[in-house]
Amino acid sequence: QVQLVESGGGLVQPGGSLRLSCAASGFLFSRNHMGWYRQTPGKQRELVATITNAGNTNYADSVKGRFTISRDNAKNTVYLQMNSLKPEDTAVYYCNARQVPIWGREYGYWGQGTQVTVSS
């Protein structure tokens, strides 16, 4: 079965760092494009960062220069390194996998999410 499991979330102070991981199984990870989304209560899911199967990356303007997405195909894992965290980064972060890099649509495989809270 296809499975995506996020981990690494937690409580961190503003300006701190956190590294999220998403472990994938049940599909050919290396051929899929990966993305991180986040969602806060009452708001639409927001695309945070993407990485294609070729390793090309893109970021939302709100996180450029602070977040880095990467992947390790040998470990079937995608990461999101988050630095200089701000309270507005607080959200549930979701991992997504898809075979077509069209990020404006809600499809593909999803994890259950991991909570990130930035607060002093």
Q: Which two tokens stand for residue 80?
A: 């999101």
Q: Strands, E, within 8-113: which ranges?
A: 10-12, 18-25, 33-39, 46-51, 57-59, 67-72, 77-82, 91-98, 109-110
- Strands lying side by side in the sheet with 3-7: 3-7, 18-25, 77-82, 67-72
Distance, in Å, from the CA atom of 87 to the CA atom of 101, rounded to the nearest integer, reads 29
Question: In the prediction, which pLDDT does 81 show?
Answer: 98
Distance, in Å, from the CA atom of 101 to the CA atom of 52, rounded to the nearest integer, reads 7
Q: What is the mean pLDDT of residues 101-113?
A: 90
Question: Chain-wide mean pLDDT for the chain?
Answer: 96
Contact 6, 20 (CB under 8 A): yes
For the cut 90, the answer to whether the pLDDT of residue 114 exceeds it is yes
Alpha-carbon separation of residue 25 from 22, 42, 75, 78, 81 (angstroms): 10, 31, 10, 12, 21
Question: In the prediction, which pLDDT does 29 show?
Answer: 95
For the cut 90, the answer to whether the pLDDT of residue 36 exceeds it is yes
For the cut 90, the answer to whether the pLDDT of residue 106 exceeds it is no
Question: In the prediction, which pLDDT does 42 show?
Answer: 87
**Per-residue confidence at 97, pLDDT binned at 50, 70, 90?**
very high
pLDDT per residue as tens digits for the range 60-86: 999 999 999 999 999 999 999 999 999
